[in-house]
Amino acid sequence: MAQSLMLVLVAIVALGAGCGIGLYARQVVSSSRIRSDEERVAKLVREAETRQKEILLEAKDEAIRAKSAAESEIQARRNDLQRLERRVTQKDENLERKLEALDRRDRNLAQKEKEQAQAGAHLEDMRKQQIRQLEQVAALSTDEARKLLLQAIETEVREEASRKVREIEAQVKEGSDRRAREIVATAIQRLATDVVSETTVSVVPIPSDEMKGRIIGREGRNIRALENATGVDLIIDDTPDAVTLSAFDPVRREVARLALSRLILDGRIHPARIEEVVNKAKAEVDGAIREEGERAAIEAGVPGLHQELIKLLGRLKYRFSYGQNVLTHSLEVAHLCGMIASELGEDVNVLKKAGLLHDIGKAIDHEVEGTHASIGADQARRFGQSQRVVQAIAAHHLEDEPVTLDAILVAASDGISGGRPGARRESIEHYFRRLEALEKAATGFPGVEKVYAIQAGREVRIIVKPEEIDDLSAMRLARDIVKNIEANLEYPGQIKVTVIRETRSVEYAR
């Protein structure tokens, strides 16, 4: 029993010791945790203080930068305001100066008006005094003197008006002649409507109408390929055994004619073959152009031309003007210029060269804006021709003022070649109808006695009745006839209208 009690006591003591030890250990652990938490809190506080300082520094820097930007903007606006103030101040000063100038001008005008009014009053007094003196000297009343004065003034004004009318008529005629020459030259080199069908169309014969379908191809691919490759319009209509080629460029039309003829002979017509044949035709036509240009230069006796001018000359083989081949016409003009120059003792080589090249602008006038004379002059100047040749080409239609004898001779030779019998295509019936229409256009005016169309319709001469038409009316009649011809007739070149008024005085000595 005592032993059991002893064990119980020992157990109780051991339990109490364990509890004490546990409590102590818990206190020790709690103290360490508290210290650790306190250290962490202190660290966090230090970090927060450090971050707060950094934020404050950043805020201060940002505030400094914002303040600096604001100050810069304020300074810029202040500068702008200062500039605006200076401009406004300058404008105010300018306005003040202008107002002062206007005030001075107004004062001067007022002074001049006052002086003029005084001078006018003085002149009126002098006029009245002179009238009284004239009435006393001439023994005429004011109305009678006024009537005589008006008659004298009327006669003087009529004479002055007649002289002015003649001067104006001369000036207007000179300007209108120059403008008419420009219009006519441009119209001729651009080709008139009734000649387009002769000079811009080629007809290619075909063996049968079945060939038309092969030329057109499936869904029109062959004809489109040929038109795209040559730049020529193919017209396939009801015309039997023929295909029409239409284009303003005669070289392209010749290439298309040659290519289509070869395709018809070969029989193989498809886009690839068309392109091949067109390329060969172009090469052949280019070779023919060079050969024709060189032949023309040799025949005209004009060596040493630039190769580009040789090519342009060769292109004229395919160009026609009123049925006249332009290359043949150029050779004729060159020979005529040479013959005339040799007779007059002028430079034959220069005149031949100018005559041969005078229509060279027609080779490219469908590609370049301007008249063929100006285009040809530009090309001649570009490829090294002398100023005499260039000026003769530019003035051969009188678009430029001829300043040398060369230009006049080339213009005369050009007119001779184009106006000679048989040079240009025109039927006898059409020729007589044109002359009759020209004479009829001038016959219906009052005072006209006889009308003659001469020089193949290039000039019309009107003989008037002198008792019905005076000199001033003759000039007016010529202008009216010109307007009537321009409005109602179609004609190549220009027509000269000459009104002749003749007064004959006949006496007999017995």
Is residue 105 within 8 A of residue 113, CB to CB? The reply is: no
Same domain, 354 and 259: no
Same domain, 357 and 270: no
| pLDDT for the residue numbered 138 | 59
Structure tokens at 510: 């017995």
| pLDDT for the residue numbered 207 | 76
Same domain, 305 and 415: yes
Mean pLDDT to the nearest integer, 341-359: 85
Domain CATH code at residue 225: 3.30.1370.10
Same domain, 389 and 459: no
DSSP letters for 146-213? HHHHHHHHHHHHHHHHHHHHHHHHHHHHHHHHHHHHHHHHHHHHH--HHHHHHHSEEEEE-S-THHHH
Is a pLDDT exceeding 80 seen at residue 60?
Answer: yes
Is a pLDDT exceeding 80 seen at residue 329?
Answer: yes
Q: Please identify, among 264, 289, 314, the residue that sits at the C-terminal boundary of a domain.
A: 289
Q: Please identify, among 398, 419, 440, the residue that sits at the C-terminal boundary of a domain.
A: 419
Mean pLDDT to the nearest integer, 11-20: 75
Q: Is residue 487 part of a domain?
A: yes
Domain count, the chain: 4
Domain CATH code at residue 458: 3.30.70.1350
Is a pLDDT exceeding 80 seen at residue 337?
Answer: yes
| pLDDT for the residue numbered 347 | 85
Mean pLDDT to the nearest integer, 24-28: 70
In the block, which residue shows the tokens 């040929």?
226
Same domain, 250 and 269: yes
Q: Is residue 397 part of a domain?
A: yes
pLDDT band at 372 (very low <50, low <70, confident <90, very high): confident
Q: Is residue 172 part of a domain?
A: no
Q: Is residue 6 part of a domain?
A: no
Q: What's phi and psi for 374, nearest 5 deg?
A: -70, -40
More confident call, 88 vs 183:
88
Q: Which letter, b or e, does each residue of 79-97 get, where b requires 16 or more Cβ atoms within 10 Å of its Cβ?
A: eeeeeeeeeeeeeeeeeee
Distance CA 334, CA 135 (A): 78
| pLDDT for the residue numbered 485 | 87
Is a pLDDT exceeding 50 seen at residue 116?
Answer: yes
Is a pLDDT exceeding 50 seen at residue 180?
Answer: no
Q: Please identify, among 289, 311, 335, the residue that sits at the C-terminal boundary of a domain.
A: 289
Give me the residues paired with residue 235 across strands.
244
Same domain, 333 and 410: yes
pLDDT band at 315 (very low <50, low <70, confident <90, very high): confident
Per-residue pLDDT of 237-285, as tens digits, reads 766 777 777 777 778 888 888 888 888 887 788 888 888 888 888 888 8
More confident call, 236 vs 411:
411
Mean pLDDT to the nearest integer, 447-476: 86
pLDDT band at 154 (very low <50, low <70, confident <90, very high): confident
Is residue 323 within 8 A of residue 352, CB to CB? The reply is: no
Is residue 442 within 8 A of residue 497, CB to CB? The reply is: yes
Same domain, 92 and 31: yes
Is residue 199 within 8 A of residue 191, CB to CB? The reply is: yes
Percent of the chain with pLDDT over 70: 86
Mean pLDDT of the chain: 79
The CA dihedral of 52, 56, 57, 59, to the nearest 10 degrees, is 140
Highest mean pLDDT among 177-186, 202-211, 297-306, 500-509: 297-306
The residues near 384 (Cβ < 8 Å, ≥ 6 apart) are 306
Same domain, 305 and 414: yes
Q: What domain range includes position 45?
A: 18-108
Highest mean pLDDT among 138-152, 210-224, 375-389: 375-389
Same domain, 362 and 410: yes
